[in-house]
Structure 1
Amino acid sequence: MSSSDPAVPDALTSLTPEARAWLDTALAGIATDPTTIRTLFPAVRRRCGRAPLPDGRTVDEAARILLLTALPLRDQALVDEVGALHRYGDPAEQRAVLRALPQVDRAGTGRFLDLVRQTLRCNDSALIEAALGPYAAAHLPSDEYRQAVLKCVFHGIPLDRVAGLDDRADAELARMLSDFARERAAAGRPVPEDIAPLVRPFTTTHGAV
């Protein structure tokens, strides 16, 4: 790897020599010709494996994020390339794209927000969870963020996996969650326990859950 290539993180140092060599070559190839990522991205799982990592990711996801950060593109060219990888990728590839967005959009422009929005229209819980990481927390407008949190509750996604809730929870979100909880209780269905901590700070206005 040259000094301009992204450093392989500690999480990937457990790669076999063959997988590490493949990844090094892939990173160098992307730096020279960004279009090579289109064939390299789907091949990651086969070449690097999918062993779990201590941070909850898998080896293939971490390697794919590294490939994305190696792209020497800017502005709309970068948006188009990353968007195509998401559009044509399988769920594992899409999760990697979504989780890489903070690193890909280092300037914090929010220009990749459409990928988050597209994902939030699906019903795949793992993809929804991946979409609601730090990038969504930083850039998703308040009304869309609230609706996304409510969708997580509907899908049974634990709210501690949604980035930014400590900062972005507000009275309107508390009202929406309270309404949901009352409807569930009236129907004799269990109310997720992780709703209460978000509603409690606003109970003087909206009542307890």
Structure 2
Amino acid sequence: MTVPAETETLSARLPAVAARWLREALTTVEADPSRIDTLLTSAGRHCGRQPLPGDPPPPVGRTVDDAVRALLLARVPWRGATLADALSRLYWQGDAAERRGVLRSLSCFGSRNTLGALALPLVHDALRTNDPRLIAAALGDYAARHLDAAAFRQAVLKCLFSGIPLVAVAGLAERADPELTRMLTDYAEERRAAGRAVPSDIEPFIGAGPTTRE
């Protein structure tokens, strides 16, 4: 994500009053990052909680407050362990909407922040929930870079069992491996055997025909 470009894009989608609040909030958090707690809490009230225009519908797409919170967090000047500690605190003390904002923000942090895999516990926690919007928010570019192969495969299956379209999983085409193909093919076979429909979005990732069991 290119944060300045994303800011302009988001501002253009907001009513004038909300766009002005966002610009002022971004300036505030850069100057005084200790204000981030209050700003994250009030983002929905000032900017709205409706699906973000131009995004797919939830759970895959963002809500307006998701996008606003991610941008606010991307502006904090913290780095490394300090950043990871702040994100963890904000995640654990936040409600579901604020947690989504933290998860959505992870893709904003590149190598310059030296965040590395320090925020992975937040991703793992979200993937343990049954909240489709939280799960989808966790599976952005950050998860694609840092989840190990086993955890990534389980995240894909979690999406299927939770009714989340696989377009929510960043990096799926690049990270699909033979073991994931086997797992998804087994899933498809089980659904066919039970007379249930197979989600069309898994077709590119499954075997051409039924698997053979010993």
Give the shorter-chain TM-score range.
0.7 to 0.9
Change (3 A) 1:205 1:77: same
Alignment length, in residue pairs? 201
Q: Distance in 2 between matches of 1:143 and 1:30?
A: 37
> Which stretch of the first structure deviates more once superposed, 112-121 or 177-186?
177-186
Q: Distance in 1 between matches of 2:65 and 2:137?
A: 15
Amino acid at match of 2:205: L
Amino acid at match of 1:83: S
CA contact (8 A) 1:102 1:135 kept: yes
Q: Summarize deviations over 1:44-84 as a string: whole Å, max 9, x none.
A: 11112234321343332222112101111112111111112
> SS at the partner of 2:206?
helix
Amino acid at match of 1:180: Y
Structure 1 runs (4+) greater than 6 angstroms displaced: none
Larger Rg belongs to:
1
Please give the residue correspondences for 1:1-209 in structure 2 after superposition, counting only pairs within 5 Å.
Answer: 8-51=7-50, 52-56=52-56, 57-107=62-112, 109-200=116-207, 203=208, 206=211
- The structure showing larger relative contact order (alpha-carbon pairs under 8 Å, at least 6 residues apart) is 2
Change (3 A) 1:155 1:59: closer
For structure 2, list consecutive stretches of 5 or more residues without a partner in the other structure. 57-61
Percent identity between the two aligned chains: 48
Task: Quote the offset at 1:42 in angstroms.
Answer: 0.9
Amino acid at match of 2:27: A
Q: Distance in 1 between matches of 2:210 and 2:187?
A: 16
Q: Summarize deviations over 1:159-194 as a string: whole Å, max 9, x none.
A: 122111111111101111122222223333332232
CA RMSD across the alignment: 2.4
TM-score by length of 1: 0.84
Q: Distance in 1 between matches of 2:12 and 2:198?
A: 43
Change (3 A) 1:158 1:15: closer
> SS at the partner of 1:191?
coil
CA contact (8 A) 1:30 1:71 kept: yes
Q: Distance in 1 between matches of 2:165 and 2:146?
A: 21
